[in-house]
Structure formats: structure tokens, C-alpha cells
Amino acid sequence: MGTVVDAAIKVANGSAHTNKKVTVVFVLGGPGSGKGTQCSNIVEHFGYTHLSAGDLLRAEIKSGSENGTMIQNMIKEGKIVPSEVTIKLLQRAIQENGNDKFLIDGFPRNEENRAAFESVTGIEPEFVLFFDCPEEEMEKRLLSRNQGREDDNIETIRKRFKVYMESSLPVIDYYKAKGKVRKIDAARPIEEVFKAVKAVFTPESEKVAA
């Protein structure tokens, strides 16, 4: 779909490069906006590989590494993990995967993330899929999902909303100015949201006039 971006992906040791042509779509939206659910649908229908920045960070925490302990402490505080940590995890995931189409979910979280990602990887997103959802609805969803996640309590949720509002919206504004934002009303039922998502991912040539 659209143009394919040339990406110079640095390998973990930083000494060699692998030239890999990839299409990247950034998936942004507040905590509880339904990004994960919709990413699963996109993977199933359009063949993308879903990379969740949050899942990669949680996997690093579970690994018990020193990096993981630092990440855990920052998440508890509702702070943003340093760009280089997340970018390294994303690079490794892209590099080790055989696919060439990726959804990057929950990243970039701020302008510094965005600039560092484009600078380090050479990748500019095809577009940004933005799930727009009112804070009250997101809070309700997070409190009811009860997945046993340590960061799903009311105090931390409100910290995460504050961080999201202050940090992520400038990223959305940046890509909006470049005509790369596809905004989805995420407060609607899952099926209706995916209908709107499908319209974004279906190439014009494949859309049949009603």
C-alpha cells in the first residue's frame, strides 16, 4: 500500500546495518482507546506485524535485566521510558521479523521519541492511525478490563492520561501538518471502529463504489 520506505536498521551491536524495506504505521491514542484490539484486527485482515512498544517493554521487564528494572520503575511513576531503550527494542523486533509491514503501537510517545526514531532508523511512517477517545471512556475501559496489570489503578491511569495529553498530542500535530494523520472515532463499538479502520487500510483501487 502506498510507497515503501527504505529503512536502514541498525543491528543490536550497532556495527553493521541491514537494509530492509519496510512500511510502518504508527498507532497512537490514549491508554484504553482500543489500539490493541484494533491492531489485532488489522493484523488478521491486512497482514501487518503488530509491535506494541508497551508489550516489548513489559517483556524486557520480565527478562529480569537491569534495563527491565529501570523500565519497571519508570512505568510505576507514569514516566516515559528513554527513547533509545524503546527504539532498540523496536529495531530488534523489526529486524528479526520476516514481514515488511509493521504497526508500531504506542510509540512515539513524544516529540523526542519521534525525532530519535526517524533519525536512528531512517524510517518515516506511511501514516499515523490516531484513535481519538474521550478521557472518561478510556478511564472506564481501563478500570473494567481487569487484566492484572500493575499500571491499571486509578492514580496511575490519571498520571498516564496527563503524560499522554502533554507529550503525545504534539506528535499527532506534527504528522497532521504533513497530512499523515488518519483520525478514528474510538468511542464507538469495536465493530464500528474497525469499519472505519478498514476504510483507511483498503487501497483506493480496491474500494468498490456503493
Coil, strand, or helix at residue 17?
strand
Q: Is 160 annotated as a binding residue?
A: yes
Q: Is 114 annotated as a binding residue?
A: no
Residue 210 pLDDT: 43
Contact call for residues 42 and 48 (beta carbons, < 8 A)? yes
Q: Is 163 annotated as a binding residue?
A: no
Q: Is 32 annotated as a binding residue?
A: yes
Query: H-type helices in 130-189, by residue range?
Result: 135-145, 154-177
Residue 84 pLDDT: 87
- Which domains does the chain show, CATH number per domain? 5-202 (3.40.50.300)
DSSP string for 28-94: EE-TTSSHHHHHHHHHHHH-PEEEEHHHHHHHHHHTT-HHHHHHHHHHHTTPPPPHHHHHHHHHHHH
Q: Is 182 annotated as a binding residue?
A: no
Q: Is 30 annotated as a binding residue?
A: no
Give the integer Cα–Cα distance in Å for 72 and 6: 33
Residue 17 pLDDT: 40
Q: Is 203 annotated as a binding residue?
A: no
Side chain identity at residue 161, one-letter code: F
Cα angle value 207/209/210 (rounded, 5°):
125
Give the integer Cα–Cα distance in Å for 139 and 153: 10
Contact call for residues 57 and 75 (beta carbons, < 8 A)? yes
Side chain identity at residue 146, one-letter code: N
- pLDDT truncated to tens, each residue of the chain (210 aa)? 332 223 323 333 333 344 568 999 999 998 889 988 899 999 999 999 999 888 899 999 999 888 899 999 988 888 878 888 899 899 889 988 999 999 999 899 889 999 999 998 889 999 999 999 988 888 888 888 755 555 557 788 888 888 888 888 899 999 999 999 999 999 999 999 999 999 999 877 676 554
Residue 27 pLDDT: 95
Q: Is 37 annotated as a binding residue?
A: yes
Q: Is 36 annotated as a binding residue?
A: yes
Residue 179 pLDDT: 96
Q: Is 79 annotated as a binding residue?
A: yes
Residue 158 pLDDT: 84
Q: Is 83 annotated as a binding residue?
A: no
Q: Is 47 annotated as a binding residue?
A: no
pTM: 0.78
